[in-house]
Amino acid sequence: MLVENIAYACLTKWCEKGKADKSVIRWINSDLTETDFSYLHFEAESNQIANTLQKMGIHNGDVVSVFLPRSPILISSLFGILKLEAMSCVLFSTLGEEALLDRLGNSETKIVITKNSLVRKIMAIKDSLPNLERILVVDTEEHKNDLVLSLAKLMEEAEGIFAYSHQTDSETPAFLQYTSGSTGKPKGALHVHGAILDIIQSFKEILQVEEGDIYWCTADPAWITGLSYGVFAPMATVTTQIQYSGAYNADNWLQILKDKEVTVWYTAPTALRMLMQEENEKFAIIQSNCLKRIYSVGEPLNPEIYFWGKKTFGQEIYDNWFQSETGSIMISNRPGLEVKPGSMGKPRSGIKPTIISDDQRPVAAGEHGNLAVQRGWNSMFRSYYKREDAYAEKFWGELYITGDLAYQDEDGYFWYVSRSDDVINTAGHLVGPFEVESALLEIEEIGDAAVIGVDDELLHKKIIAFVVTRNNLAWDKHLELKSRIYISNKVSTVATPAEFIPIEKIPKNQSGKILRRVLRALYEGKDPGDLSTME
C-alpha cells in the first residue's frame, strides 16, 4: 500500500497547498523570547539537509541520528532524513557515553547531527563505532577536520529545493525509537512511514484540536510523545503549536499558558506533580486562561493529581496510554467519554486491547493480567532493530504483549497496575536497571550493584541503587558523588539514582538473577517472603 512520505504529509504538502508562509511553530526560548517559524522555513532547511546528506552518500535504509536538544534545526534535520527515505533516530541530548554507544552502535548510524558541546561524547566512543562516517555540527561555521564538519557551511552550498517521492510504500522504514530493557541493551523500535496514518487519526480522535486552537506538547522529540504529537501530528494537521526549548520552570510554563493563549495542553503527570509543589499564589496568573483541556501521558495520572489539576486549571485532564512500540495513542480518556479518575480510559477506534493471564487466557473483569493488543495497527513497530529475537518475544500469536499489567472494569475502562518487568518509569522516562548496573560496575570501588524503582510522589518511580564496595571500602559522600557523575556521563542524567544504599551482598537466585523483590522489601522495611531460591 502506498502512503504519503511522513515529510510530505507534515510539510511539503502544505507548502503546495498555499500554506507555506503560515506560522506553524512559535518557538519560545528559556528567557521567553520567541520566533515564529513557517512551513516554508522547515521545507527549505530540510531540503538543504536532504541534499547535503544525499551528497554524502546517505540513501534508503541508512540511519542518521539526531543528537540535539530541542530546537528548530532538529525538526529540519528530521524531515531532511525522511525525505531521503533514510531512517531517523532522535536521541536525548542528555545521554551519556555508554548509552550513546549502545544506540549509535546498534543502529549502525552513519552520520550524527549534533552540536559542538556534544561532540566530545561522540569522540570518546568513536573507535567503537566502525559505521560512523561523519559528525555534522549545527553551531559551528567551519569544518574541524574530515570527520567533524560544519552543517551550516554545508547547507550554504546546498540547494533549497529537493526532489523526492511524495508517495512511498507504507512499510518503508522511517524512524527508530529506543526503549530500555530490563535485562539487556536498549532496543530500537523500528517504525514505518505508514505510522503517520494512525498518528493523524489518533490526534484527531483523542486531542480533537480545532482551527484556531493553540497547542502545546511539552515532550522532547526524542520521546515518542514529542515525536508523534509534538512534531508529526500538529504539522500534518496544520495546527499552530508552541515549542519551548527551556528546562522545566513553573513561572515560565504558567506565563506561556497565559500569554500564548494555549487551548490544548499535552504534558505528563510528573510535570503536574512538580507544579503541585509550587505555592498556590503562582497560579493566580492562569485563572483567566484560555485552556479548554489538558492531556497527560507517560505514567499513570493518579486521582490526587487529577483532582488538583482540574481544580487549579479549571479544565478536564484526560489521561492516555501508549508506548514507544505502539507509536500512537492506544487507550485514552477524551471529550465525550466520562472520565474515571485514575483510569487509562478506553481504546481508540480500531484498537483491540485485552487482558490475559500468563498462560494466555482471557481474564474476568477486574482481574489483573497482561495488557495485550491485537496486532496490525499502522503505527505498530515492525521490529527491534537487529534484535528479531527480542521482537518475537513480544508476541503471543496475534497479540502484542505490552509488558504492562492492567485490568479492565465492567464498563470497559482499562486501569494500569504496574510494569511486568523491571523497567523503571521515572518522570515518564523508561530506564533499564541493566544499563545503570553495568555502569556502576565500571567504577573501581564497586564490586556489585543492583538497581530498583520504588514509588515516589514526584517522579512516580525513583531509582535506588544498592552497592557492594570492594574490599569492604566504606561508602562515603565522595564515592557517592563520583558514582552520580559517572552514571550521568555514562548513561543519562535521568538514570542517576536518587539514593545509594551500601549492602554486604546483592540477593540473587541460584541462576544468578537479582532478586529485586527482596531489595524492594528491604528498602520498604517489609517481609521479603520466600527466600528459598536465593543462592
Could you report the per-residue pLDDT of 98-127, keeping only the tens digit for each? 889 999 999 999 999 999 999 999 999 999
- Residue 441 CB neighbours (<10 A): 13
**What is the per-residue pLDDT for 535?**
54
**What is the per-residue pLDDT for 184?**
64
pLDDT tens digit string along 205-240? Answer: 999 999 999 999 999 999 999 999 999 999 999 999
- Give the whole-number percent of the chain exceeding pLDDT 70: 97
pLDDT tens digit string along 374-404? Answer: 999 999 999 999 999 999 999 999 999 999 9
Distance CA 8, CA 11 (A): 5
Residues 6+ apart with CB under 8 A from 151: 49, 52, 73, 113, 136, 137, 138
**What is the per-residue pLDDT for 257?**
95
**Burial class, 470, CB count within 10 angstroms (exposed 0-12 / middle 13-18 / buried 19+):** exposed
Decide if pLDDT at 5 tops 80.
yes
Task: Tell me which residue of 158, 251, 239 sits closest to 200, measured CA to CA.
Answer: 239
**What is the per-residue pLDDT for 513?**
64
Q: Which of 124-128, 163-167, 286-290 has the lowest mean pLDDT?
A: 286-290
**What is the per-residue pLDDT for 103?**
95
Grid cell at residue 445 = 570501588
Longest distance between any two alpha carbons in the chain, whole Å: 71
- Kindly report the pTM of this predicted structure: 0.86
**What is the per-residue pLDDT for 514?**
80
**What is the per-residue pLDDT for 181?**
59
Confidence of residue 263 (pLDDT cuts 50, 70, 90): very high
Decide if pLDDT at 47 tops 80.
yes
- Residue 343 CB neighbours (<10 A): 23
Question: 247 vs 346, which has greater pLDDT?
Answer: 346
**What is the per-residue pLDDT for 356?**
96
**Burial class, 438, CB count within 10 angstroms (exposed 0-12 / middle 13-18 / buried 19+):** middle
Decide if pLDDT at 421 tops 80.
no
Decide if pLDDT at 448 tops 70.
yes
Mean pLDDT, residues 358-369: 92
What is the identity of the amino acid at 340?
K
Three-class SS state of 375: coil
Confidence of residue 532 (pLDDT cuts 50, 70, 90): very low
Which residue bears the cell 490544548?
264
Distance CA 29, CA 272 (A): 21
Q: Taking a C-beta distance cutoff of 8 angstroms, is the pair 270, 220 a contact?
A: no
Query: For helices 477-490 and 433-440, what crossing angle results, to 10°?
Result: 120
Look up residue 508 and give its DSSP letter: B
Q: Taking a C-beta distance cutoff of 8 angstroms, is the pair 148, 120 a contact?
A: no
Distance CA 179, CA 327 (A): 12
Distance CA 192, CA 176 (A): 9
Q: Taking a C-beta distance cutoff of 8 angstroms, is the pair 315, 296 a contact?
A: no
